[in-house]
Structure 1
Amino acid sequence: MLSISACADLNEKPIGVFAPETFFKTRKDVETAVLGAYGVIASENLFGRQFICALQFRGDMVDIGNRATSAERIQMNDFNMDSNNGMVTKFWPQWFQAINAANSAEAGGMSLGLSEAEINPLIAEAKFIRAFSYYHLVRNFGDLPYIDFAVTDPASLKTTSKTPEAEIYAGIKADLEFAKKWLPNTQKNNIRTRPTAGTAAAYLASVHLTLGEFQEAYAEAKFVIDNKALFGYELEADYEDNFKGSIANSLKETIFAFDFLGQQNVGGNNDDSLVPMVLVLNLTGGYGVSVPSMNVYDNWDARDYRKKVSFIDTLMVDGVAHPYSDFSTKRPHIGKWARDFGNGNAIGRYSDHNFSDFRYAEVLLIAAEALGEISGSTDEAVGYLNQIRARARNWAGTQTDFPADVAPGMTGGDFIDLVMEDRRLELAFEWKRWYDIKRRDMGKEVFTGPNSLEPHDNFDSSRDYLMPLPASELRINPNLAPNNPGY
């Protein structure tokens, strides 16, 4: 969107902007545009590193390890960035490139004059990508321009103003409802890197949960759960399998992910740089940047298999075991994605990972939380949570007795607290924690409270729940002013 004008002289003919009515001739052209949007998101600036690492840094589960890293990352982590932050200026325009690709695909599909049955599944996929992109954007920036049409003249956007959050969420829900109606129940070869009706319903459940619309969140989550066989969803028996690049394409727990192809990089897309961000600096050649605080490790019960999977606290190098006291940052590092990245280079870059943005486990947690808000810790609500806990008791085939099942009858608030704690552990380091902190207004508690895992005394809920719009965008279009509070 605005990035198109930010990267081009508006007196010149913009490159990469086309008119849907002239470019799109066949259904295949529409599909090509849809697939191109995935390529934009599977880039170093978004799901390859910058955006998902920013979400990790904002939460209380990942701290900066190697503080010789770039200042933009430290600022993101420490809640002291301004509107020139380099991470924001990288991922903001990339999101709008994906949105414009989706908008163009939608407009192109509508221009072909095909029947609904022929074209609506692809239009639904374009709408899903737009909803997916805006769902991430609105949670981080609040009010921002909502563009749901193909941009053929970047100069026309110089006067675009911000759209209220409520209107953006309305657009997101409308797009997901359309996607749920028209997307197939499964994709060819049962791949999870293109959405299905189940994917759309799962994201609808998440959107409603974010907005505190618990009845609707429960209904959508229940729809996915009741139809899990139709969509091919189930919890993987071994929790660790979710984070193995070598089997990423066969995981039934994945609801939606971005596919990275090992040892391939095309024009900045398909660039997985998350793995080196979490690898130990001095012993593997990784960057050692995204590293949990010691409190996160110390406060996690060692009987929980998810702790073993989520951390590397001892590293074997050339047959020698190195405890974390030998690491450059003397703390246990993230183990997810680091042990098995499939085909990649020596430090895991350009891996085979499919980085999942949604797992079936989260659907169960949404159902438990939403139903807990509606009717408390009923047998049904507790049952969803206990499915997560039962899987956590499986240590790669060996059954244990921790964490124990939860019994019904807890007070409503206590049950919700328990669900939130299980979300923190189940989804550790998966860029979900920040969204939970924000939607539950837990920032002051988790960053400045006595039990803080990653203390930041400067956290300010009036400022830090939103990121700043890039200063470069406000210079191009003053109608975007004022920036978010505090920037």
Structure 2
Amino acid sequence: MKKIYIVTLAIISSLLGVSCTKLLEEKPVGLLAPEGFFKTKKDVESAIFGAYGRVASEPLFGRQFTCALMFRSDMVDIGNRGTGVERIQVNDFNMDASNGMVAAFWPVWYQVVSAANSAEDGAKKIGLSETETNPLIAEAKFVRAFAYYHLVRNFGDIPYIDKFISDPAILKTISKTKEADVYAKIIADLQFAKQWLPDRQPNDVRTRPTKATAAAYLASVYLTNANYQAAYTEAKWVIDNRATYNYILEPDFQNLFRANLGNNMKEHIFAVDFMGQLSRGSENDDLLGPMVGIRGSNIPENGFGVCVPALRVFTTWDANDYRRKVSFNDSITTTSGVKIPYTAYPNEKRPHIAKWIRFPGNSIANGRYSDFNYPDMRYAEILLIAAEAATELNGPTQEAINYINEVRTRARNWPGRVTTAPANLILTNFTSKQQLIDAILEERRLELAFEFKRWYDIKRRRLGDEVFKGPNALEPRSNFSSDRDYLMPIPLTEIQINPNLKPQNPGY
């Protein structure tokens, strides 16, 4: 996969008659493809790879979108307050409809959708049998569902486009689709994908979906919508068939965040693929490393110091938990060989995020243009989805506790030694359902720290008032409003182009 994306983008761009930069500027939502482009299966695959290329771009997983998700959580704060005002607004819950981060990633998600729609349309026209074309259609549907799943969770009611658009005037008249209807369409796409995707992709890559990938996302979608029986059924199916799909918990937690090992991660269920130092415009431009890097000279992991956790995120995390060591840079050895603690960092004197800069693989010095496969779904998360859904259905059962303990046991395993501390890391029994649910959500917070998941948990569980205003808030935000801040604003520029996108989300 790593050699395909850039070539594919160039092919798609030339066939569409636009440059990569022009693709970013396309408005309103949606892109056009020329009639007659699709002749073979490879043409359809090129469109699908083009969609993956847009996901692996600076406006989405390369910085803007993923940083916005981190800022909205209670795990990541602004370090360098001299950064762009649009980032501070997202972090501080005071953005408006003109926010630059939202305006950057909204249209690119719809470019992903457009590429998927074009691929599906093309697959239906190349004249092959159902058994040949349906796997292609299934992959296009998965990509479309993936894009809409991120969009609907952040914006609620959104324009839903699932057809090839040949008349650009149509795009200026599209209205929003109700959130519940968007979820229903996402589920339908994922169900088709589960039926028709292969058990394994070539070379067992995890940057293209399989049947189990679709099932994992179905479990997540059902969990988000509090359909706990369906969430449990899908998650349990993945767990029961883990050998077929080659899923395990990676024994060394650190290895999950070594970019050079990304292609061989059996824990990855679906990952977004970046290629080391092969950028083409915004495509494949991974800036997360610099965003989390330590700001200052003489620092080997130098960066902008923008996405920096509040100190309590670090100090409240048990030091015996290996995941804390992997997740943070709490000290650094300078280029002159001097080890300094975070209290002596040149600027933001807090532990910084290490996951996305410690081992960036083939990249430039500050981690930009990395070789990361960013996991959007890991097997550990499926265990926690199954635990949460089972607990909601049946209370604190041993089955749910066992799923959590699988994840927690690894958290005690440091390289070269297996520890038994802390003893309370292994769960035993619970007296109430809520007590176990709270433990599962806390486990998700730590296991998936800085992996763009925490905001979605806060939103789906309506935890905002508790985590931002409560006495134990890691990152206090007294102005958080549950009436406004669970949704982002639809970009003002999009509403100006198409007034049918009104009304704006509440509070904006």
Q: Same fold (TM over 0.5)?
A: yes
Q: Which amino acid aligns with 2:365?
A: A
1:6, CA displacement in angstroms?
Answer: 9.8
- Please tell me whether residue 76 in structure 1 is matched to residue 84 in structure 2: no
- Show the counterpart of 1:400: 419
The equivalent position to 1:308 in structure 2, one of 315, 325, 339, is 325
After superposition, residues 21-420 of structure 1 pair within 5 angstroms as: 22-282=36-296, 283=299, 284-318=301-335, 319-327=337-345, 328-401=347-420, 402=422, 403-420=424-441
1:9, CA displacement in angstroms?
Answer: 8.6
Structure 1 distance, partners of 2:204, 2:152, is 30
Select between 224-233 and 408-417 the one with higher mean Cα deviation: 408-417
1:252, CA displacement in angstroms?
Answer: 0.5
| Paired residue secondary structure (2:484) | helix
Tell me the alpha carbon deviations over residues 457-487 of structure 1, each in whole angstroms, 9 at most, x when there is no partner.
Answer: 0000110000000000100111111100000
1:72, CA displacement in angstroms?
Answer: 0.5
Q: Which amino acid aligns with 1:316?
A: T
* Inter-CA distance 116–9: structure 2 relative to 1 (3 Å threshold): closer
Q: Which amino acid aligns with 2:464?
A: G
8 Å CA contact 1:291–1:333 kept in 2: the answer is yes
Tell me the alpha carbon deviations over residues 6-59 of structure 1, each in whole angstroms, 9 at most, x when there is no partner.
Answer: 94699xxx9962245x11111111011000000011000001111011000000
1:104, CA displacement in angstroms?
Answer: 0.5
1:210, CA displacement in angstroms?
Answer: 0.1
8 Å CA contact 2:30–2:111 kept in 1: the answer is no
Structure 1 distance, partners of 2:360, 2:342, is 21
Structure 1 distance, partners of 2:356, 2:452, is 13
8 Å CA contact 1:225–1:364 kept in 2: the answer is yes
| Paired residue secondary structure (1:336) | coil
Structure 2 distance, partners of 1:246, 1:356, is 14
Q: Which amino acid aligns with 2:414?
A: W
Which ranges of 4 or more aligned residues in structure 1 deviate by more than 3 Å? Answer: 3-10
TM-score of the superposed pair, with normalisation by structure 2: 0.92
1:298, CA displacement in angstroms?
Answer: 1.1
* Inter-CA distance 7–341: structure 2 relative to 1 (3 Å threshold): closer
Q: What CA RMSD, in Å, does the superposition of the two structures yield over aligned residues?
A: 1.7
1:266, CA displacement in angstroms?
Answer: 1.5
Select between 149-158 and 292-301 the one with higher mean Cα deviation: 149-158
Structure 2 distance, partners of 1:440, 1:119, is 39
| Paired residue secondary structure (2:374) | strand
1:409, CA displacement in angstroms?
Answer: 4.2
* Inter-CA distance 315–7: structure 2 relative to 1 (3 Å threshold): closer
8 Å CA contact 2:30–2:110 kept in 1: the answer is no
* Inter-CA distance 467–278: structure 2 relative to 1 (3 Å threshold): same
Structure 1 distance, partners of 2:358, 2:22, is 38
The equivalent position to 1:459 in structure 2, one of 475, 480, 495, is 480
Tell me the alpha carbon deviations over residues 422-455 of structure 1, each in whole angstroms, 9 at most, x when there is no partner.
Answer: 1000001111000000000000000011110000
Unaligned runs of at least 5 residues, structure 2: 1-20
1:411, CA displacement in angstroms?
Answer: 1.1
Tell me the alpha carbon deviations over residues 90-121 of structure 1, each in whole angstroms, 9 at most, x when there is no partner.
Answer: 00000000000000000110112211110111
- Please tell me whether residue 439 in structure 1 is matched to residue 457 in structure 2: no
8 Å CA contact 2:31–2:115 kept in 1: the answer is no
TM-score of the superposed pair, with normalisation by structure 1: 0.96
| Paired residue secondary structure (1:69) | coil
